[in-house]
Every structure is written in C-alpha cells, then in structure tokens.
Chain A
Amino acid sequence: MDTQRNESEDFMLELGAITKSFGKNTILHQVSLRVRKGEVCSIIGPSGAGKSTLLRCINLLEQPDSGNMSLNGNFYDVSFPLRQDELLSLRRTCGMVFQSFNLFPHMTVLQNVVFPQRHVLRRNESEAREVALKLLDRVGLKNKASSHPTQLSGGQQQRVAIARALALEPKLMLFDEPTSALDPELAHEVLDVMRELADSGMTMVVVTHEMNFARTVGDHLVVMADGHKIEEGIPEAIMDHPQQSRTRQFLSAVNH
C-alpha cells in the first residue's frame, strides 16, 4: 500500500479510461495516461485522432462521458460534472495555451496577465503587475506591456498567452497545438519559450505536430489515432522504431 502511494506521488497527472463522444461519434475510447512530475509529454497523431479533445478533457473544457483523473494528488471522478468549487480548483492547477492564443483583445498585454491574477489568486494590483512584468520579461516581451494584443505578431501573442497562464502558478501546463497557427519563424520563438519552460522543470502536456520538439524536448511520447492511444514511450525509440503500423504510416507521412 505504501509503495503504491509513493509511486502515485511521482505522477502529476493520471487519466483513467477517459471516454468521450459527440453525438454518435466516439472521439476517445477509454484513454489512460500517466504523466510524471517535471515530464514533458507530447501527444502526436493524425487530425481527428482525439488529441485536442483529450487535452481539453484534462481541464474539463470538455466534459468526458466517463473516466477518472488524478491531478497533483487530487482524485476526481469525471463521469459527472464537478461542483463549481472543485472545477475552479482543478483549473487553477492547470494552465492552458490555445492554438488561437485567445488573448483578451480589449485589454493591454499587461492587463491580460494582471487581470486573471487579481481574480483567481486575489493578488493586489502592484503584486500582480510585478509578477506580470517579470514573466513578460521572461518571454521577451516586457517592452510590449502597454500594447494591445492585435498590435503583436502571432508568435508574440502566443508568448503573452504563456505568460498569462504561468502567472497563475500552474502545476501542469497544457499546450493545444501552440504553434499550428504560426509560420515556422514565429513558431520558433514560441518553441524556445516552451523549451526554457521545460528546462525549468514544468510538467507539460503538449499536443503538437512539431516532431523535432517532441523528440528533443519531450520525455514521453504518446501516439493517438481514431480515439485510441496506440503507442507510447520514449520519443526517440518510437520515432526510430515504431511498433504499430498505424504509427509508421503517420510518421512517414509527417517526415515526408
């Protein structure tokens, strides 16, 4: 019993048999996943595989039909909607970065990072500003603090979105195709920030098409197809010696 508890303490996130359907289409078939503390877990696979849906089930932007979840030592039965206070505390544990950035366009860059801290962590204005400026500096955008998001490039907007999420001190960062809307040059600056974040020990789950990132930064690779987890393990091992034909097919299409 003791050893079991010790083992589960190593994990930041454990998903158990997550199932999700939209109407008659089952998007996720009993997907389970364990992510260790400090680990970078990349999820790859063809479109329609259910990668994003799985990620969105973690912070319950999608309500699974059934399954359970353990996040930072807290257990949740996610077969039913959580109570409001449980839901908010779960979401405070995860930060999320979206493909489309989703910054608040009516606020300045600084306000984007300050405003959630004021409400979620109840920080006072000066403390929240201090944290925000430190994080904007970390992502290289301190000089853009008073700009509006639309005045920024896509890569800059995504870096602000990362700073906004980090300001709430998440234990786990979720990235939903963070560079898919960016051209390669701009994607690069976002990937650099993510790499630095991984090096600092942040636990990350990244849905991505960036094979190089998954290979060089990722510790753990999950391949999904048609709502199933079809293969997982060490990134180099899977990329160089895929065991499943479906994985081979996907990797050869990507590397083509």
Chain B
Amino acid sequence: MQFLPTLLVGLRQSLWIIAAVIAIGLPLAFCLALMVMSKHRLISAVGLVIVEVGRGMPALVILYLVYYGLPRFGLNLTNIASVIGALAWNYSCYCSEIIRAGILSVPKGQLEAGQALGLKPRITFLRVVAPQGLLSTIPGLMGQTILAFQDTSLAYTIAVPELMKQAYSLGGESFQYLRVFVLAGLVYAAVTLPSTWITTWVERRINTAY
C-alpha cells in the first residue's frame, strides 16, 4: 500500500494524456469520417489511407515512429507530446470508423425527406442525419476511449512518468514487482470498470431515446 501515492501521481499523468487524446482525437475522427465519406475521390482516398495506416499499425509502432522517426525530419517532440500525438492518431482512426458507421446507419429516408423538403444538403446533414447518427455512436466511442486509456501505458517505453512507468520504477526499487503490478492493474481497473458500467448504462438510455 505504500506504493499507492506514487501510483496515483502516475495515474494523474495518464488521465492528462487521455484527456488530451480525446480533445484532439474526436474532432479529428469526425473530420476523417467526413473525408472518407466524401464524394470527392481524392479526398476520400487520402482519408482512407490515413485511417487504414493508423488502424493497421500497433499503437506502439506509431509511438516509436513519432518519437524516434519525426526528429529525422526536423520535428522534435517531447515524449509527452509524442505519446499524445501517436495515440490521438490511432484513436481517431478507430473512432472515425465508428462515426462513419453511425452516420451510414441513419435510414436513407431521412436524407430523402430533407432533400424533398428543399433543405440545403449541409442543413440536412447537420440537423437531420448527424444528430441521429452520432447518438448511436456514443457507446462505441466510449468503449474506444477505454481502450485508448489502457494504451496510455505504452508511454512508459519513452519514459513518460505515467502510471505504468511509476509502477515499473517502484518495482525496480523494491523488487516487489508482483505486488506493484497487481496494484497498478487495480488502479487501471478502478478507472476502466466504472467507465464500462457507465457506457452500458448510456447504451441502454440511447436505445430508448426516442
């Protein structure tokens, strides 16, 4: 138990990282979803490449490419900026597919009703299609966020002092690796399990929304 205060300092760092990942990743995910759905072939292709590369590589590989690779091109990011950037890319790619699926799940009749009423396409999208499509994506996005939170543990590999890194250091100092990692796992679970329960609850609420 004497390890807990240090682990909680690490947890604070982890939560900061995930907050930044969400703040950058979600708007980016929305833009990527729009790009992939674009009628413009080139925009759609560029979006698709960004998304497929981001989803195709493990988060750890992306993290190393950002941290060790970008300095080659003159872009030196701090380790925290690297982990936020790498995870935000990975996270936004998965989220963009969830958003795209949500928008495509809106019945075609809704779009046609907007068209038949003479609404501009932008208004039909923003006021009719998007609100319905995005509502159904909320549980999926929350689930993805929980996974991204677990991925913040990868930051220990580039010495960001987050929860996993703190646990690793404590283990090295005390040689009580098992205890420390069990405790660290419980700290992660203390965040993710309630989040999962909330997600399930939100999902039920949404299913009875209308």
Contact = CB atoms under 8 A, between A and B. Distances in A.
B113 A104 contact: yes
Nearest to B123: A119
A150 B210 contact: yes
The 7 closest A-B pairs by CB, nearest first: A102-B113, A91-B118, A96-B116, A102-B109, A92-B118, A116-B117, A105-B210
A106 B129 CA distance: 10
A68 interface: no
A216 to B, nearest CB: 27
Chain A at the B interface: SS class: mixed
Given A61-B116, A91-B115, 7 more contacts: A59-B115, A88-B118, A103-B113, A105-B210, A119-B120, A120-B117, A149-B210
A103 B128 CA distance: 10
Contacts of B189: none
Contacts of B41: none
A120 B118 contact: yes
A168 interface: yes
Interface in A9-66: 59, 61
A180 to B, nearest CB: 14
A61 B120 CA distance: 14
Nearest to B119: A119
A106 B118 contact: no
A165 B119 CA distance: 12
B210 A94 contact: no
A212 B118 CA distance: 32
Interface in B95-138: 107, 109-110, 112-113, 115-120, 123, 127-128, 131-132, 135
A148 interface: yes
Contacts of B209: 106
Interface of B: 107, 109-110, 112-113, 115-120, 123, 127-128, 131-132, 135, 209-210
A250 interface: no
Interface in A90-116: 91-92, 94-96, 98, 100, 102-106, 115-116
Nearest to B131: A106
Contacts of B115: 59, 61, 91
A35 to B, nearest CB: 18
On chain A, which size bracket covers the interface? 20 to 34
Nearest to A170: B118
A95 B117 CA distance: 7
A164 interface: yes
26 contacts: A59-B115, A61-B115, A88-B118, A88-B120, A89-B118, A91-B115, A91-B118, A92-B118, A94-B116, A96-B116, A98-B109, A98-B116, A100-B109, A102-B107, A104-B113, A104-B128, A106-B132, A106-B210, A116-B118, A116-B119, A120-B117, A120-B118, A164-B117, A165-B117, A168-B118, A174-B116
Nearest to A165: B117
Contacts of A174: 116
B116 A115 contact: no
Contacts of A148: 210
A61 B210 CA distance: 27
A165 B112 CA distance: 13
A120 B109 contact: no
